Structure 1
Amino acid sequence: MANSNKSAREAKARVARMEANQALHQEQLQRRKRDNLIAFIAIAAALALAAVLALTVFSPKSDADATGTDASTSSADASAEPSTPAPSASAPVETNSPTVPKGETAQGKTFTGTLTLNGKPLGVELDGTKAPQAAAVFKSLADEGFMTGKTCHRLTNSPNFGVLQCGSLKGDGAGDPSYQWGPVENTPADGKYPAGTIAVARANTVYSNGTQFFITYEDTNLPQGDGGYTIVGKVTSGLDVVTGIAKDGIANGATDGAPNTKVTIDSFKLN
């Protein structure tokens, strides 16, 4: 009788252990599923953030945007990055502002000169054959001395996405609604902007270019879904000036924002 009771207790214990193991196994399965879901969401969020950064980084901010959020190029920032302003009433879609020079004035011409940042010169070249409208605009801005004293307000530092953006009217990234133009010209079909590229920043339409431009200090890939960004020229010497600024980093340790080193345009001269 004692042996029988012992056998019954052992059987119950085995059943209890088996049930406990099954419960533990089920709990582990649920935990793995939960962890996998969390990891998937985190990866998706990271990819979305990267896309946004890539899409918005070159967009001038809307003058009406007091929050400091960049307008989306949406394409992209792009990443990217937020609110998309309607085209300004003073510069309707597919209409240049009256003060914008005609592209014919630069057609077929090559302009060479110097862009000086913080006392350090960069040799530059603008291509009036591939981007006549953009070349005409920046030749005019250079001749008027518009860029003197302006700043480079934005720096990015991500893999395949390194740019310095300059030329904002007030130094805060906002565009000038009274000076907008198009179309987009000379954009790479593959979305690759080699190191040393000088391209034009814009907002959400192909006629929303303004006075802002960006320099890629490393090979950069940008979405081209909404037309891309006009490549107006290239840096022919002194790109190390920009890479040096990039090495100093971005405010608050960000990958997209104001450079730690304040960057001022001392002069922009073209022949």
Structure 2
Amino acid sequence: MFARRVAAVAVSVLAVAGFAPAVASAAPAPAPPTVRCEFIPTPDLPAAKPVKPPRPTAPTRGTALSVLLTNYGPVAVQLDRSVAPCAAHNFAHLVRSRFYNHTQCFRLTNSARLGVLQCGDIYEVEKGGPGYRFADEVTGKETYPRGTVAMGNQGPGTNGSQFFVVHSHANIPPNYSIFGKVVLGMDTLDRIVAAGIADGKEDGLPKHPVRIHHAFVI
């Protein structure tokens, strides 16, 4: 019941901001083309929370809207299936599986090179994934401006649940699959950055915990 009420509030916030979900038409839309995704089990790194891998096929057209309700405010992310279909499919699956509910974002950076909030790790930075991995979806031409949402990884082909949101800029190699952008809630990111990083560092644990209470796909 509580989750339904929170979801209703999220939809209301998005509607006021002009991001209300479209009403389905009477005639069914043609099925979009799909791509096959390989979600490879990682028995040496078991799932940190109960979750199964997504279906092995992902649509390659259209968008979806995901809302992250944090203790600093909401962040709405438009998922782009045409850019990184497997990553967008995986993110939506983890959201629907409640994998990100009641989790903490353990890394915040704010330097001349990198300004991101990293989330999706259940235990601590780069520890606690979904128990599987999948390939990168990059062209080598990726850039990461403010508002970009992309997969985090620990090397080629190690995508799982970790993701980052660019709050300022990210001067990094094009090695990270971009699957969405923030369409509402950059002010939430700004508040997180203003709260600072522990020990006055440029890269580390946020000074005050950043928590994802609930996540939804609309």
Q: Calculate the TM-score normalised by the size of structure 2.
A: 0.72
- Give the letter for the 1:143 counterpart: R
Contact residue 107 and residue 204 of structure 2 kept, 8 A? yes
Structure 1 residue ranges (4+ consecutive) displaced by more than 3 angstroms after TM superposition = 88-91
Which residue of the partner structure matches residue 202 of structure 1?
153
Aligned to 2:37: none
Q: CA deviation at 1:188?
A: 5.4
Instruction: Return closer, same or farther for 1:266/1:188 CA change in 2, 3 Å cut-off.
Output: farther
Q: Please state whether the residue corresponding to 1:101 is helix, strand or coil.
A: coil
Could you tell me which of 211, 218, 221 is aligned with 2:161?
Answer: 211
Q: Give the distance between the partners of 2:56 and 2:136, measured in 1 at CA.
A: 12
Q: Which has the higher helix share?
A: 1
- Find out whether 1:256 has 2:203 as its counterpart: yes
Moved more, 98-107 or 256-265: 98-107
Residues 150 and 164 in structure 2, CA contact (< 8 A), matched pair in contact too = yes
Normalising by structure 1, report the TM-score.
Answer: 0.59
Aligned counterpart, 2:136: 184
Alignment of 1:39-78 (within 5 A): none
For 1:234, what is the secondary structure of its paired residue? strand
Q: How many residues align?
A: 174
The percentage of aligned residue pairs carrying the same residue is 35
Q: Larger % of strand: which?
A: 2
* Per-residue deviation, 1:119: 5.3
* RMSD of aligned residue pairs (Cα, Å): 2.4
CA distance in 1, matches of 2:109, 2:77: 21
Q: Distance in 2 between matches of 1:107 and 1:141?
A: 18
Q: How is 1:1-271 mapped onto 2 (pairs within 5 angstroms)?
A: 90=43, 99-102=52-55, 104-118=57-71, 120-176=73-129, 178-181=131-134, 183-186=135-138, 189=141, 192-206=143-157, 208-224=158-174, 228-271=175-218
Which amino acid in 2 is paired with 1:130? V
Q: Secondary structure at the match of 1:216?
A: strand
Long gaps (5+) in structure 2: 1-40, 45-50
Gaps of 5+ in 1: 1-87, 92-97
